Structure 1
């Protein structure tokens, strides 16, 4: 009888003993103070134990396996004031918490923002008017080619002269003349031979990526060409060279009151033909034909004052016709290229502030009625481009 009674008492005490040995838990619900709306993704932590959980869509959470004793609970969520409290946990029991979080507007300390623009003296190469005159350069290509890391590429005696910076492609270098792009709207390349050196006041070459300021064309660098704003003495030049080259260039400038006017033009013609051996086993000479070129251009510029700043208005026209002779083994006798381009760009600058509006219209035609292989073609491409840019250099300060 005594043994049965003892066994019964042990069985009654066993569940209480097992419950006392099972760890407790911390559970509860996080809601917005005042509205009782549940807050999802609120972080609930027991920092001393290194435990963190997040509330669900109903704002509920549960941390299981917590040893008996006092534990600090910390709750946080973006946009709300934090909550912290000491909680007593008992083995085998759940400590339930109902946690209200009040909305909180975060007030920042003083924030200073500083932006910098490229410093030509530190980040690039500057060629002044005095250096241009001393070098005897004829076009912008001769001027730019003197800068370190710059290569001017020539596409034959009658082709354009484009710029490469540190081995880049010509379409990755942006060339700006008084802020207006010189790059071809289709190919992306800029023909520097179209800008006479006599019209240039300063050239700045900025190597490296400057796309954040100048756009995608400036992936490898930027060439900034500033034309002469003051009175330019009249000048004329004529020249002749190999392959039947003839060229003429002239410009004129005058000051009218507080404004300065410039105008100029150029023309160039090349026969381009020469004799060569097409087949090394056959000494018969063949004349290279359809290699002629004619190009011409004109520009006008006005510089004056407007709203306390300097206003520059520049316009230009270019035309080109040339043969596309092909390779020596597959010459083309009739392939031709025609191109016409017009540009206009008013630009205004006052201190660190500047604004620019530029536009270009271009028509290019390629034709060959009897190509050495393939079908005849006669393709015309028309492009219209408008570019606008405004910038300033300033800083701002914000605080309480």
Structure 2
């Protein structure tokens, strides 16, 4: 690892015109410049639906002023209507001029009728304020879904709408504002990004795309910069131990991504450009007709990423150098075709990704000619049948990943080649996954989900400079697994109780050349949730779980100059426990608070170290991650003002029997962090201010060197307007307003 200081300059993200979204980066941090540019530059995301917006509005609780999500808005005397989103907003399209009568309804509230006049001019805006009412039906108990009541899982869910209204360039930028989520990056926009949750290593966090793991078999990590946001429909962040559902590598948390499906006929085009030579274009289209649904999303991105940086040597002397060979370019294409007939749903998805990037190396080992190229091809076919009491889903997934890494001296080098020797490797990874799941709801308050999974992974590597020697012989992993999860819910007046036991069994065979090893692992978990109250509630959660992670192909079989894997390396094992207490108060708005304590103990955690005879090898060691999270939020009536803040404290302790390292802090993990957001909304205007205060991080296991803390402020101003009956979202953003410098 190296120390790098990046001058993270404030950046204004904006767009001019209908089709282009320009991101203009400035090296000045004066606030008057920010407000000046905020007025004249904007980020425009233009949506050209095949239909035209005629009526839009919002459904609110008349008493609290809070939005009512999932409310029904019906156009009387027709089969036309809409369902409100999380902000209580709705839209109706394809209407002729004239007067219409709308009815808004929500369980536990009195329905409301309103008339609205539609003209060929601007769309009509209407607000429904529904009054609560008590529903009394003989011998029937009706309980409306309440915030925090039925949503008992330890998961954060974000929709495509949440993604679009947040100033972000990548998936890593979007998730880094949440408690104990740390995104490690190697440079500016387009550079490699990996994620850590609650201090776990990047290969201990599982990243799923449509329920299929993206973690590669060589390093076990996922580069978040390779995932375009315009093809993502929903993001789920599960910070706890999820091995009982997903198996190996999920005990450090799970990030589940779900791609877009065909829906409302819509075309969207976004383009961005900015400093460091950053430029991107993202067209997407979705549509639905007579049971068929389809969507297409593409993404083209490039960045130069060369910049000056400073680093401080042991003698405290600061040196300035130029970071070269950090360019990046990528292309994504995503296709989806589906058919819905009654209770049956067929779906086919394909994804193609290619990228080329420079590898600038570390401060003391620059590699101005090292290059990396990656190609990924994925295809998924699924079938789902769903009825009132049970459902079944089957999915077949195949993928092919190829990567080339080289560091070759050109015939006429312009820059110093450096101390890193020449190399040229070609890697191939093929994956086939079959999944079958069934879910049953035989009676109210009980659910059961069962599933089986089969996975075959094959890995090949080639040393293009030495055709006889290979870093890793042909290797493979064959995994068979089954899981079962139950949910038992019980209501007693104002008390709600939920119990979620789950268990998964994995059987795996690893082989390379004549070496074979078998692994068997059970991963049980238990989640308990209890709450008391009505609109205002108090709740308590407890989670206990066990998990594991198999060594990667590199951990087991890698053999190269002074780099050696160990075939007898033990799998990582984890025992975790956490509890949380929180509540929600509806008084002059909505107040939420939660305090969470967690502990994750690792046995046989895999760490690469420089060992005897200067060989770089993986070793098994023990570690412990303990921490606290405090989350607070407040939303005013009608969602005019929203405040969010989270504070996290982390104690990543090394439990290596070596007395010199025992109870030392594990490196590269922030010991504390404060993150917050302020959101203002008024009619079609909204503004967001984000702040991230990241604490110090140690650079080595001996805790003798550390990176200083830093603070970053980001601001966004947005407005939704209608031009020629088309909806236009205009956003202007500036990143790092205070021109903070931080070390990477």
TMscore range, shorter length: 0.5 to 0.7
Give the C-alpha shift of residue 120 in structure 1.
6.0
Partner of 2:257: 225
Deviates more, 1:379-388 or 1:352-361: 352-361
Give the C-alpha shift of residue 383 in structure 1.
0.8
Name the SS for the 2:305 alignment partner.
coil
Do structure 1's residue 316 and structure 2's residue 347 form an aligned pair?
A: no
Cα distance in 2 between the residues matched to 1:199 and 1:160: 19
1:132 paired residue among 160, 163, 168: 163
Give the C-alpha shift of residue 261 in structure 1.
1.1
Do structure 1's residue 154 and structure 2's residue 206 form an aligned pair?
A: no
Distance 1:139 1:311, change over 3 A: farther
Partner of 1:384: 430
Partner of 2:286: 253
Task: Describe how 1:42-57 pairs up with structure 2 within 5 A.
Answer: none
Do structure 1's residue 269 and structure 2's residue 315 form an aligned pair?
A: no
Aligned residues: 278
Name the SS for the 1:208 alignment partner.
coil
Cα distance in 2 between the residues matched to 1:283 and 1:123: 45
Give the C-alpha shift of residue 364 in structure 1.
0.8
Task: Describe how 1:1-400 pairs up with structure 2 within 5 A.
Answer: 121-157=152-188, 158-229=190-261, 230-231=263-264, 233-275=266-308, 287-305=322-340, 308-351=343-386, 352-370=391-409, 372-373=418-419, 375-394=421-440
Query: Contact 1:178–1:347 at 8 Å: present in 2 too?
Result: no
The CA deviation string for residues 165-203 of structure 1, in whole angstroms up to 9 with x for no partner, is 211112122222222223234322223333333433322
Query: Contact 1:232–1:252 at 8 Å: present in 2 too?
Result: yes
Deviates more, 1:237-246 or 1:192-201: 192-201
The CA deviation string for residues 272-300 of structure 1, in whole angstroms up to 9 with x for no partner, is 22345789999997543222111111111
Name the SS for the 2:394 alignment partner.
strand
- TM-score, with structure 2 as normaliser: 0.35
Give the C-alpha shift of residue 316 in structure 1.
0.8
Distance 1:184 1:241, change over 3 A: farther
Distance 1:284 1:392, change over 3 A: closer
CA RMSD in angstroms comes to 3.0
Cα distance in 1 between the residues matched to 2:174 and 2:368: 36
Deviates more, 1:143-152 or 1:263-272: 143-152
- TM-score, with structure 1 as normaliser: 0.62
Name the SS for the 1:393 alignment partner.
strand
RCO (CA 8 Å, sep 6+): is it higher in 1 or 2? 2
Give the C-alpha shift of residue 232 in structure 1.
5.4
Distance 1:272 1:228, change over 3 A: closer
Cα distance in 2 between the residues matched to 1:353 and 1:133: 32
Give the C-alpha shift of residue 128 in structure 1.
3.0
Cα distance in 1 between the residues matched to 2:339 and 2:320: 59
Query: Contact 2:408–2:423 at 8 Å: present in 1 too?
Result: yes
Query: Contact 2:187–2:305 at 8 Å: present in 1 too?
Result: no
The CA deviation string for residues 103-132 of structure 1, in whole angstroms up to 9 with x for no partner, is xxxxxxxxxxxxxxxx86432112234433
Q: More helix per residue: 1 or 2?
A: 1
Cα distance in 2 between the residues matched to 1:174 and 1:354: 22
Name the SS for the 2:362 alignment partner.
coil
Give the C-alpha shift of residue 140 in structure 1.
3.3
Query: Contact 1:127–1:143 at 8 Å: present in 2 too?
Result: no
Name the SS for the 1:193 alignment partner.
helix
Distance 1:284 1:216, change over 3 A: closer
Rg comparison, structure with higher value: 1
Query: Contact 2:184–2:194 at 8 Å: present in 1 too?
Result: yes
Query: Contact 1:179–1:356 at 8 Å: present in 2 too?
Result: no
Unaligned runs of 5+ in 2: 1-149, 410-416, 441-447, 450-744
Cα distance in 2 between the residues matched to 1:233 and 1:194: 25
Cα distance in 2 between the residues matched to 1:279 and 1:178: 44
The CA deviation string for residues 27-76 of structure 1, in whole angstroms up to 9 with x for no partner, is xxxxxxxxxxxxxxxxxxxxxxxxxxxxxxxxxxxxxxxxxxxxxxxxxx
Name the SS for the 2:162 alignment partner.
helix
Cα distance in 2 between the residues matched to 1:293 and 1:131: 27
Cα distance in 1 between the residues matched to 2:170 and 2:346: 25
Distance 1:193 1:231, change over 3 A: farther
Partner of 2:19: none
Cα distance in 1 between the residues matched to 2:269 and 2:436: 37
Cα distance in 1 between the residues matched to 2:350 and 2:322: 40
Name the SS for the 2:334 alignment partner.
strand
Cα distance in 2 between the residues matched to 1:283 and 1:210: 44
Partner of 1:43: none
